[in-house]
Amino acid sequence: MPPGRRGAPTDRSARTRADLAQGGGTARRPASADRPDARARAGAGPAGPPWAEALSAHVEAERRRRHIPGLALAATQDGRESFAQGFGLRDREAGLPVTPDTVFGVGSIAKAFTCVAILQLAERGKLALLDPVARYLPEFRTADPDWTKRMTIHHFMTHTSGLPPLPAVDRLAAPGVAGDPKAASEGAATAPPIATPEELLAFIASEGVEPLGEPGRYFSYSNAAYALLGLVVARVADLPYEDYVFLRILRPLGMERTTFSPEAASGWEDVAVPYAGTRAEKGRAERSSARAQPVAARAFRPAPALSAAGFLLSTARDLLRFADIFRTGGVGRAEVGRRLGRAPAGAGRRILTGESVRRMTHPHAALAPGLAYGYGLTVHRGYHGLTLVGYADGHAVGPSGQAAAFEVAPEIGVAAVELANLPHPSPGFAAHAVVNGALGLPLDARRLAFPEATCPAERLSDYAGRFAAADGVVVRVDATRAGLRFEVEGERLRARPVAPDAFAVRRGEEEVYARFLRDEAGRIFALHWGFRIVPRAPAPPRAPRPAAKARPSSRPQG
């Protein structure tokens, strides 16, 4: 990946200032976007593919089984809308239905927007992907000055910088989860917030954060890295990150119902209520599904420190405009949401060069057999001869009431977006069903199937222990006669070996890939779980055994 040319950040142009004054940034959107017609509100799309009826039945059955209040699914075939439907309720208490234009939180899909912004700046020669992050953020410091200097923009984009999970995750998300019943139960709502990326920089420096290893060695998912990438965009473009995304991505694509501002969205019609489920409501019988008896969380709120990592609001139809650029090689062509009665907004607008799209969808870091991470996207090569690109997020750092996914199969011209107002264990099941339908496969065919392997029984004890990360993730692993058992958030999960030091852990109907990491001496020092490195916790010291009481002697004394 050759680095692009660099240039010094420039001042805003007069046109940029005028654009923002006329309603850019995060505050205003065209009023026409607030009045979808009756056909769109009813969730109707144009005549769909022959398997559309089966798709609708499948998604609705799964939504009910997973206790998801509301879900939207929209898809395109060769850039033309082929399916658009709402399922369930966006507001259960008011009985309001979901439509393809319902606004949801989209979680970490926001990271793909951040990568597009970085690549746009690289195309213009404003930065290079192999530049050190410290060139643009001189305040950036960790406990290892040498490794800090070697952390590049590319490392941040691929989660390979070495930044560990931070103890500040609750403080970063605090504004966005205030009032959320799930967050309150976990202490996030009362955490003193880190309100800006600059404050995050200061926190990392003050804490003396120890990198996991030299840059490029380990993949460990980092919301902090993406928060700082947003600050890089702001400094290089001389624009607030949110305004840059609006001017260079959202508006050119015609994404009129997408915003970082919950305040702006509150004035729109058709906005989802986020829902959460508390652990107390999660009985043993429900552990294979999502959250039983979901409760309404507080309405979406901003968390400015994490805008570039996950605090974006959008709709299924709007996100299709974005997803489609990975089918076209960077040109906005998706024709969706014809309710406005005009030519499709964003058609023909180039967002990225073809080379930038290839960089973004290149498998830079391996995640699991058949699955890799690109730039803000996952890349799955070899699905029945196809490459699938997209992202799925069902446990966002932001408002807990969201699950979001998009999936693009460029070889067959298919793109699909799925949004829901409750996290669940299988985000993306509906979007993936669209690809399966187009291929003539069973709608519930899985994206990944891990191989079978064996693990000698005498080695199982090597993996046993408690693994804990600074952001609160705790995984307990026990070796039993039946094999390994994982305990996560009170759930006891079965695991099967799939490769040396790697196991597939059954969580609900899905399998999570878990890999144990060894140091140079061959000792296991961490667990790769949830795409994060979770260090092995020291074994607690054993309590000393009480001294044995002296038994009275039977011998005669004297």
Q: Which residue, among 284, 273, 282, has the nearest Cα to 424 in the 3D structure?
A: 282
Q: What was the pLDDT predicted at 40? A: 35
Q: What is the pLDDT along the chain (558 residues), one digit of tens a residue?
A: 434 333 433 344 343 434 433 333 433 333 333 333 333 333 334 456 888 999 999 999 999 998 999 999 999 999 999 999 999 999 999 999 999 999 999 999 999 999 999 999 999 999 999 999 999 999 999 999 999 999 999 999 999 999 999 887 667 765 545 445 545 444 444 557 888 999 999 999 999 999 999 999 999 999 999 999 999 999 999 999 999 999 999 999 999 999 999 888 888 999 999 988 654 344 443 444 444 567 887 666 677 888 999 889 999 999 999 999 999 999 998 888 754 444 555 557 899 999 999 999 999 999 999 999 999 999 999 999 999 999 998 654 444 578 999 999 999 999 999 999 998 778 999 999 999 999 999 999 999 989 999 999 999 999 999 999 988 899 999 999 999 999 998 889 999 999 999 999 998 778 999 999 999 999 999 999 989 999 999 876 655 656 555 544 444 333
> Which residue has 């960089």 as its token pair?
359
Question: Residue 514: which H helix or E strand, with range?
Answer: strand 510-518
Of 431, 480, 483, residue with least CA distance to 455 = 483
CA distance 352 to 156: 20
Token pair belonging to 355: 């080379």
Instruction: Say how far apart CA 446 and CA 183 lie, in whole Å.
Output: 31
Instruction: Write down the pLDDT at residue 185.
Output: 44
Residue whose pair of structure tokens reads 């033309």 in the numeric block? 80
- Measured distance CA(57)–CA(355) in Å, rounded: 39
Tokens of 425: 């264990």
Do the beta carbons of residue 363 and residue 355 sit within 8 Å? no
Distance CA 296, CA 123 (A): 43
Measured over the CA atoms of residue 93, residue 95, residue 98 and residue 103, the dihedral's sign is: negative
* Encoded tokens for 167: 């103890």
What percent of the residues of the chain are helix, what percent strand, and what percent coil, each to the nearest 5? Answer: 30, 25, 45
Residue 487, Cβ density class (10 Å: 0-12 exposed, 13-18 middle, ≥19 buried): middle
382 Cα distance to chain centroid = 22
- Give per-residue pLDDT as tens, 347-365: 578 999 999 999 999 999 9
CA atoms of 204 and 156, how far apart (whole Å): 15
